[in-house]
Chains A and B, each alone.
Chain A
Amino acid sequence: DAGVTQSPTHLIKTRGQQVTLRCSPKSGHDTVSWYQQALGQGPQFIFQYYEEEERQRGNFPDRFSGHQFPNYSSELNVNALLLGDSALYLCFSPLHFGNGTRLTVT
């Protein structure tokens, strides 16, 4: 058990809706990164949070936003969902991924 937990496991939304995904890193780990993984592709970096601030950001539109709380847990928010946002969303905290959230946009 790598200790990184994500919720929910699966989610179905319709185009235009908004979604919030959650991640809790292993105790004591203060850095959280979010990735999007489409089927058959490697993970694509969305952004990284450290000490409650966004430290780095990948090539994703502003519809993708995040937050990190004082306990180091994190949220990924996606607004105005598009069909192309359907993917596995992974939370990464040094060396280990959470089990991911499978988002389906219809």
Chain B
Amino acid sequence: GQNIDQPTEMTATEGAIVQINCTYQTSGFNGLFWYQQHAGEAPTFLSYNVLDGLEEKGRFSSFLSRSKGYSYLLLKELQMKDSASYLCAVIDSNYQLIWGAGTKLIIKP
């Protein structure tokens, strides 16, 4: 079967750095997404990785290793508004999106 694993919940301090990991086992791979979802709202697009390496976008960076079936989302200079769930999703060989359950990130002052 296909599987996306993420930690259920993480806690970090305002101003700090946090890394949210995602491991996947899917039938084929055509890219990996990270989305942010605030409570009660729809997910919003953060990043897309299809090649190995680090993609940086402001305070957020996303890393991919296809050989290890592994990605992480790095959030720097954490702000209270970053408190949200972070969803990892992989496009499989049928171009279907397979979603993780999400990581709830709690930011403390």
Q: Which of B48, B89, B96, B101 contacts A41 (CB 8 A)?
A: B101
B44 within 8 A of A: yes
Residue A44 is within 8 A (CB to CB) of chain B in the complex: yes
Q: Say yes or no: B100 contacts A99, CB within 8 Å.
A: no
**Are A2 and B45 within 8 A (Cβ)?**
yes
Residues of B within 8 A of A (CB-CB), count: 19
User: How many chain A residues have a CB neighbour from B under 8 Å?
Assistant: 21
- Assembly CA distance A90 to B99 (angstroms): 13
Interface residues of A, Cβ cutoff 8 Å to B: 2, 33, 35, 40-45, 48, 56, 88, 90, 92, 95-100, 102
Closest 5 A-B residue pairs measured CB to CB? A42-B99, A97-B42, A100-B42, A42-B101, A43-B99
